Amino acid sequence: MAKLVAVTACPTGIAHTVMAAEALRRVAALKGHSIAVETCGSEGVRSPLDAAAIAEADAVIVAADITVDESRFQGKPIIRTSTALAIRETEHIIDEAVARSREGMGAGQPLPVTPPRQVAGGAGAAPSAALVGPSTGRLVAITACPTGIAHTFMAAEALTRAAKARGYTIKVETQGSVGTKNLLTPEEIASADAVIIGADTHVSTERFAGKRLLKTSVGEALKQADSVIERALTLPVTPAGTPAAEAPAQAVAPAKTEPAGPYKHLLTGVSFMLPFVVAGGLAMALSFVFGIDAFKQEGSLPAALMGIGQAAFALMVPALAGYIAYSIADRPGLAPGFIGGMLASRIEAGFLGGIAAGFLSGYVARWFRDHIRLPANLEGLKPVLILPLLSSLVVGLLMVYVIGTPVAAIMHGLTDFLSGLSGTNAILLGLLLGAMMAVDTGGPVNKAAYAFAVGLLGSNTFTPMAAVMAAGMTPPLGLALATVVARNRFTLQEREAGKAAAVLGLAFISEGAIPFAAKDPLRVIPSIVFGSAITGALSMWFGCGLRAPHGGVFVLAIPNAVQPVGPYLVSILAGTLATTLALVILKRPLPEEPVLAGPGTTPTLR
């Protein structure tokens, strides 16, 4: 009989913590082993392990989704896993702990525990050593999405949890419109077993030369983090010195897991454009605090605020075009991209002209970069003289004489159409934009609607932006409300997630709905699409305009950022109630959940 001790911990300490502890106690008793389990959560530590129990233990099991202090277990074999695996694969974990204790593993050595799974080569077969190479137990990753607000950090957290469950340490660098956080150092990259890039925007890979590199979307890194890490660890080792961009094809994820090329390039441009739109829109809104026409008085503060806003908006289209080109051709695309974007802005081609200039600049610059060959002593002229000059001339001439005028005509027609929308036409556009914001909550369709609305801000068309933001808020808000008014249709874990979803919804972070949609898509997705479509339609019908592309309800504190405010709030409230009503109708009551009790108490139903 083995003597074991365990610690279970999850962020709330309510559901998974207690269930994992009870599962470990039950299976250990059935197998004839003794186990003492300490539970940790938001309410503190329960059933703490004493020093005598730890000293007598043959092995330690740490089933945790949060950081646990392991210093007291020095000299003991430690089995690390997650609470979810401790609940589902309890017998496997207990057997592993007993086996490690009998093998006399080294002091405090963390050992990953994962459930048996089907892999190439047969059930439970491990990848061959030739494929995976020596392991250091370390990973590095980058996550990036256009805004760097929701998907970026949620994917980073998911990768961190999945890596910890496997016994790996991981550092995740996050990139978004707010800049780079948690920057990876050369030492950390050098010591990593593999590199994971989960991004919907352009991420430079030069610093990962010679490393196994897996590229995927930020959505897959969020929803299938364990699978992403497994694929990264089974990639063949890239020969030292091989540039990351030239790594063997099998050393990266299949192309289908990455965002499609044009889509990724567009989102990169939108990501860099957003700060200009936010600053410009809010500066212009602040100028109206002093009166609608106050900015016309030269030398006044309102005139200065209006000038700042107009300057930011003037840079919006060049930034969009420049960074689309950068995503395609890297640095050689920046100069022609910005120049093409500025020309598009001057000829009033708007964001459509910026998109056209960006893609044209990127592909032209990349073609010149790949096909121009110079003697070694002249190669230094290529990036600073030849590529910027040739690509800028080609793009500029095409924008002036070929592309600019027809795109400007299309942009003017679109702006006039949207400005003249009223009644049924406005409602139909609102229905479409609202439904698009909810159908995949942060996915490609959602981002397409968002990019469309943001682009129109530069043309002083503000109603689609209002509809898009309101419709993006209602999915998490409606779900949060449903977990309160229809508690019997949601599990305890979902009700806890509903509290976080409410905060995310207020901040215009649609991804708060993802956990619910992933678990019950056939009922949740139609419900949130229904509510968002109603919100979008009402916002357009009321003629609500929004000058900022993000911020949720918090942007209402800025005078004139949203007009009119009252009907806008009514639109959001109506969509939230519609979402909740649809969920109540479509979802069925769940069986009462048994709440696992501690020793000496009676189980109850919830």
CA distance 225 to 158: 6
Check if the beta carbon of residue 196 is closer than 8 Å to that of residue 233.
Answer: no
Phi, psi of 110 (to 5 degrees): -75, 135
Please state, in angstroms and rounded to a whole number, the distance separating the CA atoms of residues 533 and 546.
18
All residues at 6 or more sequence positions from 192 whose CB lies less than 8 Å from its CB, including other chains: 136, 138, 139, 140, 211
Using CA atoms, how far apart are residues 48 and 459, in angstroms rounded to an integer? 62
CA distance 155 to 65: 15
Residues ≥6 apart with Cβ < 8 Å to 327: 201, 202, 264, 265, 268, 269, 333, 362
Residue 544: active-site member: no
Nearest of 253, 245, 262 to residue 203 by alpha carbon:
245
Quick check: 441 and 154 in contact, CB under 8 A?
no
Q: Is the previous residue joined to 146 through a cis bond, with omega within 30 degrees of 0?
A: no
* DSSP-derived 3-state class of residue 253: coil
CB 62 within 8 A of CB 76: no
460 phi-psi bin (left φ>0, alpha ψ -120 to 50, beta other): left
Helix axes 151-165, 225-233, angle to 10 degrees: 60
Token pair, residue 379, equals 């190669």
> What is the C-alpha separation between 581 and 485, in angstroms, rounded?
10
Amino acid (one-letter) located at 200: D
Of 403, 307, 395, 391, residue with least CA distance to 349: 403
Paired residues of 562 in beta bridges: 546
CA distances, 151 to each of 175, 227, 510 (Å): 11, 17, 10
Catalytic hit among 10, 40, 145, 544: 145
Rg (CA), the chain: 28
Beta-carbon-side half-sphere exposure of residue 329 (alpha carbons within 13 Å): 28
- Name the region of 314 (left: φ>0; alpha: ψ -120 to 50; beta: rest): alpha
For residue 44, which amino acid is it? G
Q: Let me know: does 31 contact 1? Beta carbons within 8 Å.
A: no
3-state SS of 327-370 is HHHCHHHHHHHHHHHHHHHHCCCHHHHHHHHHHHHHHHHHHHHH
Beta strand residue intervals within 202-339, DSSP E: 213-216
d(CA 419, CA 16): 52
**Cα angle at 557 between 552 and 562, to 5 degrees?**
65
Active site residues: 145
